[in-house]
Structure 1
Amino acid sequence: MADKPSRALVLYGDGLASLVSPSHSNLHSFASLSSCGFLSLRSPPSQDSIANSRTARDFAQLLDAYDFYIAKSGQTNESGCSFNPEYAVPELSKRFMGLRAAIFSSSPSIISLASDLSLSTLQLEETDSSDLRSQLLSLLGFSGQNILEASEYDLVFLHVTSETFKTLKGKSAIDWLDQLVGAILEIATAGSAVSSRLHLSVVLSYETSSDRSRISLVKEMNSDLGLLRPRQSYTMKNGKPLDEIRHDHPMLVAQWQDGVTRRDLANAFTFEEFNKNGGNLAMLADQFLHEVAFKLWKAPKYGA
C-alpha cells in the first residue's frame, strides 16, 4: 500500500478487445508490467434491444450501478423480475468518501449514466496522444514529472469505442489507444514520482459474444465432475449468488502502479495470456470501482 492516496486513470476500450494484435506493443508492454485478470459481466435482459444499450449496461457494471441502470431503463432481469427503482445508487461522491470523478466520452448513453451518478462529463476532442496524455494527467494533479498537492479529480475515465476516432487521420481506435498507453508510460516510468502515485487501469471489453467456446472462463469438464465444482466468487455479490452472470467474453483488465500492484507472468494483452498467466483470475465487474477507490483511500478493502 502506498504512503499517500493514489490518483487513478482508467482507459476503457469499449468493444476493442478482439482488435488487439501483436503490433500493439504498448498494450502488451503494459500487460507485462501489470496485474492482469478478468471482469465478469451479466447476461443482458431478454428485452434489451436498444442499439447502444450494451455500452451503457457494461459501463454501469464498472460503476457498480447495474441495478440502477436496469431500473431506470424499465427492464427486467434474466428471471423476468423487475428491479426496484427504490434501490437507486447514490452519487459516487457519497458512496466513496467525497470521490471526485470525471469521464471523457462521446457516447450519449454513457454521458447520461455518468451524470446520474455525479461524474463530471468532459468533451473528448480529436487530439494526438501526447496532448491528451497531458490533459488527462493534469486533471489528476500531475504536471510533467511533478505531483501537485491538489488535483481537480481523484479519478478520470477515458471511454473509447471503435466510433470515437473514425476521422482521426485513418487511425483506428485501438491503434490510438495503444499510442496513448505508450505516451503515458513515457511519463510514468518505473521508479518515477508519477508512477508511484498514478494507479493506471486499462480495461478492454468485447463488442460481441458470438463465439462462446473460445473465450470462456469455464473450462470444459466431465458433466459429473461439473456437479462438484464450487461456485466461483465472480458469480456472487455480497455473499449472494447471481443467476444472470455469463461466463464468456469477460472484460480484460490490467492494472499497474509502481510499488503497489503485484506483477504477474502475463506478457501480452490477450484473453489467452491473461487466462494462462494472469494473477487476478476473474472478479465481478461490480467490484472494479471498489478496488480502485481503495487505492485512492476512498473505500475499505472490498473482498479478499
Structure 2
Amino acid sequence: MADKPSRALVLYGDGLARFIDSSHTHFHSLASKASCGFLSLPNASASESEDERIVREFAILLDACEAYLNLDANTTKDGCQKSTILTISERFMGMKAAIITNNSTLKSFGAKVGLSVLQLNEFIRRNHSDTEPHCEMLKLLGFHDGKTLDTRQFDLIIVHVGAGEKINDEKGDMEYINSLVGGILCKAQPGSEISSHLHLSVVMSYGSVSEDDESNLSVLTKKDERNSELPLLFPRQSYTMKGEIQRKDVRHHCPMLIAQWQYAVTRKDVAETFSFEDFKEHGGNLVIPADRFLHEIAFKLWKAPKYGA
C-alpha cells in the first residue's frame, strides 16, 4: 500500500479520440507505460443535441446520471434548488474535486454535483502558465518543487478540453492536451515523489458517432459476432452487466479510450500507441463501464472503501 492517499489528475479530451495521430508523441509515450483500455457508454438518443451529449457523457463518468436526468425536477417554483442531489464530496468521503473547462453548460452541471469550477482560459491567464500549463494544476493537488505536500486544495482535478476549442486563441485542442500530457510526464519522472502519488488518467472520447463508426470502432471480436447458437454458452462480458443484472443499453462501438499511470501502482500492458486498434489488441484493462470510472479513482485516493464500490 502507498504511504499516503494519491491525488488524481484527469485529462478529458471530449470528442478528440479520432484526431490523435503520430505527431502527438506525448500521448503515445504515456500509452507505452500506462494501463490502457476502454470505457463503454450507452447509446445516445437520436434527438440529443451536442450540449446534451457533452453533459450526459460527463455525468456518466461521474456516475451522476440521476443528477443529470433530474436537473429540472430539482428546481422549486421560486427557482431555488432542492438538496436532493448528492455532491461528489458527500458520495466519496469528503473528496475535494474541481473541473477546469471552457464549456459553460458543463460548468453549470459540475457546480450542481459539487465540483469547484474553474474557467480554463482564465485559469491559464491568471497563473501565467502558458508555457507550462501543468504546473499550477499540480500545485493545486499539493505537488510543489518535486515534493508531495500534506496540504492541497483538491484531491481530484478534471481538465475538460472539447473538440475544436482554442486555448487562449493560440494552441488548439489536441496540441494543448498533448502538451499537458508531456509536461506532466516530465514532472512525474519514474521514481520521483510526484510519480508515486499522482494518479494520471487520460480519457479521450469520440463525441457524436455515426453509423460508419459502428463497424470500424467496435470492441466486439469475431467470436462475439458468430451466428451459431454456441454464443449462448459463453458468459456475458462484464461491462454489459451491473451486478447480476444485464445492462439494458450498452454501446459496443466508439468507447472512450483511457490510459492510466501511476509509478509502481498501475500495471503496464503492451500497448505502444494511444489508439483504438492498439488498445483493443494489447490493452490490459479491456472494457469497463464508464460509470465505474470515478469509483476506481476514489479508491486510489482513499475516498472509497473498496475498488468499484
* TM-score computed with the length of structure 1 as normaliser: 0.90
Q: Which runs of 5+ in 1 are unaligned?
A: 75-85
What's the counterpart of residue 147 of structure 2? 146
CA distance in 2, matches of 1:240, 1:116: 29
CA distance in 1, matches of 2:137, 2:300: 18
1:32-181 pair list within 5 angstroms: 32-46=32-46, 48-72=47-71, 89-125=85-121, 127=124, 130-165=131-166, 168-169=169-170, 171-181=171-181
Conserved? CA contact 2:34–2:266, under 8 Å: yes
What's the counterpart of residue 4 of structure 1? 4
SS in 2 for 1:286: helix
Match of 1:297 among 276, 284, 302: 302
Which amino acid letter does the alignment assign opposite residue 139 of structure 1? L
Conserved? CA contact 1:37–1:281, under 8 Å: yes
Conserved? CA contact 1:129–1:179, under 8 Å: no
**CA-CA distance at 1:66 after TM superposition:** 1.6
CA distance in 2, matches of 1:119, 1:238: 28
CA distance in 2, matches of 1:58, 1:297: 25
What's the counterpart of residue 232 of structure 1? 237
CA distance in 2, matches of 1:166, 1:98: 32
2:206 equivalent to 1:215: no
**CA distances 1:117-176 after superposition (whole Å, capped 9, x unpaired):** 10000111174554321110011011120221100000000000123316633x321111
CA distance in 2, matches of 1:57, 1:226: 32
Conserved? CA contact 1:144–1:187, under 8 Å: no
Pick which of 220-229 and 152-161 moved more.
220-229
Which amino acid letter does the alignment assign opposite residue 280 of structure 1? N
What's the counterpart of residue 184 of structure 1? 184
**CA distances 1:38-93 after superposition (whole Å, capped 9, x unpaired):** 000011235x433311111110011001232123368xxxxxxxxxxx9x651111
CA distance in 2, matches of 1:67, 1:242: 16
**CA-CA distance at 1:209 after TM superposition:** 1.9
CA distance in 2, matches of 1:244, 1:73: 23
Percent pairwise identity: 48
SS in 1 for 2:233: coil
CA distance in 2, matches of 1:130, 1:199: 23
Give the direction of change, closer, same or farther, for the CA distance of 1:275–1:108 in structure 2 (3 Å limit).
Answer: same
Structure in which a larger fraction of residues adopt strand = 2
What's the counterpart of residue 80 of structure 1? none
CA distance in 2, matches of 1:42, 1:89: 22
Structure 1 stretches of at least 4 aligned residues deviating more than 3 Å after TM superposition = 126-131, 225-229
Q: Which runs of 5+ in 2 are unaligned?
A: 74-81
**CA-CA distance at 1:111 after TM superposition:** 1.0
What's the counterpart of residue 262 of structure 1? 267
Which amino acid letter does the alignment assign opposite residue 3 of structure 1? D
Question: C-alpha root-mean-square deviation of aligned residues, in Å?
Answer: 2.0
Conserved? CA contact 1:197–1:257, under 8 Å: yes
Give the direction of change, closer, same or farther, for the CA distance of 1:167–1:296 in structure 2 (3 Å limit).
Answer: closer
2:27 equivalent to 1:27: yes
CA distance in 2, matches of 1:49, 1:15: 15
